[in-house]
Amino acid sequence: MDRIPILKLNSNLLVTIQVELHDQLAITLQDDLTEQLSRTKAKGVLIDISALEIVDSFIGRTLAHIASMAHIMDAATVLVGMRPAVAITLVELGMSLKGVHTALNVDKGMALLARLNADELML
Amino acid sequence: MYRAGVNVGNAGVLGAVLKSDSTTILGEWLALQIAESNNKGLIKDAELKTQAESFLAVFNTAVQENPSESLQGPAWDEVRTFLAALSRSRAMQGFSPSETALFVFSMKRPLFAALRAKIGDDSGALADALMLATAMLDKLGLYTFEAFQRGREQVIQRQQQELLDLSTPVVELWDGILALPLIGTLDSERTQTVMESLLEGIVQHEATIAIIDITGVPTVDTLVAQHLLKTVASARLMGAECIISGIRPQIAQTIVHLGVDLGDVITKSSLAEALRIALRKSGLAVMPSVKAQG
């Protein structure tokens, strides 16, 4: 069965979605990611969706759910590489994914995660 | 069959008149046009004469080839092409649509006079010939009118598109800081263009902060505010933060009176203020150079 690979990078989990994300795959990703979070005790999750051309309301909601779940499990989520068309569609659908951190590319996303983790350590 | 026969017969008269009396018709027609145009000086008499001659020539050919009021066939297409070119050039020369259409309509009087002289006392034949000539010239006149209108519409459409393209420039103020100065009324089509060009600009310049300056937007209603909020939300989804600047006192009042919730969007009164905060967010500072300090 298809799976989205989840890579551990330092204290973060890196998820790059390179295939068309269908509903079942998104749910599998949700399960796998929460599993990995509890096992690795990662502090951050970076999800790269730059290859996604179509995001419907279900995928949008699942991404928001993943972020909320990660938040409860004490990890920050950064969504990177969203395409302009996808962003417009999600906003038109009324999903502005409040509470999810976003960045333009993986580079900036990693920097943001490092900053978020540093902020947390300071508290 | 009877009708077709009548048409051919009348066109025979019309065709004959056009062939034999073309010089007389042309002279009278030109005099009439010059008198009616009040000598505005929009067109030279010589140019008018060339145009009239050419029209008479193509009209004559068309009448000889297919003398029916349906105006079908290659010769009539040529007449139409000529008239379209004429309306285009007249539109550019500053003629009004009615003045342009008058070019064709004013030919009626000399043509009718020539027909009457030719046919003489046979009032039935005269009426038929006049009817056909009127129908033809009316159609051609209306076509001139339409061509004129079409030319104008094309110009307007091109200008609209240019305006749309010109009115949404995305400028890079600093590394990673974009500005989008909006000028003019925001309708839904324009906000769509604005949104798209801003998001494309964010990708292209790898920007983290975008400043939307609405100094040049005359009014902000709920729809415009909603569009702005949507743009801000889309930019945020792509990982860029938006600052709205150029909020004038009246606009601030309107927004509050309308009960629009701008949420946690940063708003600043001027573009300078917005740039200042954008620089600070990027960890940059502007300070006087050593030379200026000393």
Q: How far is CA B268 from CA A78, B186, B210, in A?
A: 27, 20, 13
C-alpha closest to that of A40 among A8, A65, A66: A8
Lowest-pLDDT range of B163-167, B214-218, B221-225: B163-167
Q: How far is CA B100 from CA B6, B7, B86, B88, in A?
A: 32, 29, 8, 10
What is this structure's pTM? 0.61
- CATH number, domain B2-161, options 1.10.287, 3.30.70, 1.10.490, 3.10.450: 1.10.490
Quick one: average pLDDT of A82-102? 89
Residues of B with Cβ-Cβ distance to A103 under 8 angstroms: 239
Q: Let me know the angle formed at the C-alpha of B78 by B76 and B84, rounded to the nearest 5 degrees.
A: 105
pLDDT tens digit string along A39-61?
998 999 999 999 999 888 899 99
Q: Which residues of B120-157 are buried (b: 16+ CB within 10 A; e: fewer)?
A: eeeeebbebbbebbeebbebbbebbbebbeebeeeeee
Answer whether A87 sits within 8 Å of B196, measured CB to CB: no
Q: Assess if residue A1 is contained within a domain.
A: no
pLDDT band at B9 (very low <50, low <70, confident <90, very high): low
How far, in Å, CA of B239 to CA of B209, rounded?
9
Lowest-pLDDT range of A61-75, B2-16, B145-159, B175-189: B2-16
Burial of A78 (0-12, 13-18, 19+ CB in 10 A): buried
Domain ranges of chain B: 2-161, 171-285
Answer whether B237 sits within 8 Å of A109, measured CB to CB: no
Answer whether B199 sits within 8 Å of A84, measured CB to CB: yes
In A66-85, the residues whose Cβ lies within 8 Å of chain B are 79-80, 82-84
Quick one: average pLDDT of B151-172? 82
Query: Quick one: how far is CA B216 from the chain centroid?
Result: 25
How far, in Å, CA of B75 to CA of B87, rounded?
19
Domain B171-285 = CATH 3.30.750.80: no
- Nearest residue on chain A to B239, judged by CA atoms? A103
Of the residues A49, A104, A112, A113, the best mutation for testing chain B's interface (the one with the most B CB atoms within 10 Å of its CB) is A104
Q: Assess if residue A73 is contained within a domain.
A: yes
pLDDT band at B203 (very low <50, low <70, confident <90, very high): very high
Average pLDDT, chain A: 90
C-alpha closest to that of B212 among B186, B179, B168: B179
Place of tokens 């928001």: A64
Q: What is the ipTM of this complex?
A: 0.78
Q: Let me know the angle formed at the C-alpha of B52 by B48 and B55, rounded to the nearest 5 degrees.
A: 140
Quick one: average pLDDT of B137-145? 88
How far, in Å, CA of B266 to CA of B240, rounded?
13
Please indicate if any CB of chain B lies within 8 Å of the CB of A96.
Answer: yes
Range of the domain at A70: 6-122
CA atoms within 13 A on the CB side of B41: 0
φ/ψ of B176, rounded to 5, equals 80, 5
CA of B173, closest CA in chain A: separation in Å? 18
H helices of chain A, in order, are 23-40, 57-72, 84-92, 106-122
Decide if B270 contacts B247 (C-beta within 8 A). Answer: no
- Which residues lie across from B180 on neighbouring strands? B212
How far, in Å, CA of A81 to CA of B238, rounded?
6
CATH number, position A46: 3.30.750.24
CA of B195, closest CA in chain A: separation in Å? 8
How far, in Å, CA of B55 to CA of B105, rounded?
12
Task: State yes or no: pLDDT of B2 exceeds 90.
Answer: no
The identity of residue B205, as a single letter, is H
Q: Assess if residue A114 is contained within a domain.
A: yes
Please indicate if any CB of chain B lies within 8 Å of the CB of A54.
Answer: no
Report the percentage of chain A scoring pLDDT > 90: 62
pLDDT tens digit string along B89-128?
888 787 888 888 888 888 888 888 888 888 888 888 888 8
Answer whether B203 sits within 8 Å of A80, measured CB to CB: no
Task: State yes or no: pLDDT of B5 exceeds 50.
Answer: no
Task: State yes or no: pLDDT of B149 exceeds 90.
Answer: no
CA of A1, closest CA in chain B: separation in Å? 30
Residues of A with Cβ-Cβ distance to B230 under 8 angstroms: 88, 91-92
Answer whether A91 sits within 8 Å of B196, measured CB to CB: no
